[in-house]
Amino acid sequence: MERMTESTKATIDHFGNHVTYVNVMRNMSVSCDCEGIAAEPVVTPDVGILSSTDILALDQACIDIIYAMTADEHHDMVERIETRHGLRQLSYMKELGMGNDRYVLIDLDNGGCRITAADAAKDLKPFVRHD
pTM: 0.90
Q: Is 117 inside a domain boundary?
A: yes
Nearest CA to 52 among 12, 1, 82, 92?
12
> CA 96 to CA 47: how far, in whole Å?
29
Does the residue 129 lie in any domain?
A: no
pLDDT at 43: 84
What's the confidence (pLDDT) of residue 1? 74
Q: Range of 95's domain? A: 2-121
Mean per-residue pLDDT over the chain, rounded? 92
Mind listing the pLDDT tens digit for each residue in 10-33? 999 999 999 999 999 988 888 877
Model confidence over 29-52: pLDDT tens digits? 888 777 888 888 888 899 999 999
- Please give the C-alpha separations between residue 15 and each of 20, 70, 84, in angstroms, as whole numbers: 10, 38, 29
In a domain, 126, yes or no: no
Residue range 96-101: mean pLDDT, rounded: 96
Residue 21 lies in a domain: yes
Please tell me whether residue 46 adopts helix, strand or coil conformation. Answer: coil
Rounded to an integer, the average pLDDT of 67-83 is 93
- Number of structural domains the chain divides into: 1
Residue 99 inside a domain? The answer is: yes
Q: Is residue 131's pLDDT more than 70?
A: no
pLDDT exceeds cutoff 70 at 77: yes
Q: Does some domain include residue 131? A: no
On the CB side of 118, CA atoms within 13 Å amount to 0
Examine residue 76 and state whether it is found in any structural domain, yes or no: yes
Phi, psi of 112, rounded to the nearest 5 degrees: 75, 25
CA 87, 90, 101: angle at the middle one, nearest 5? 125
Q: Report yes or no on 13 lying in a domain.
A: yes
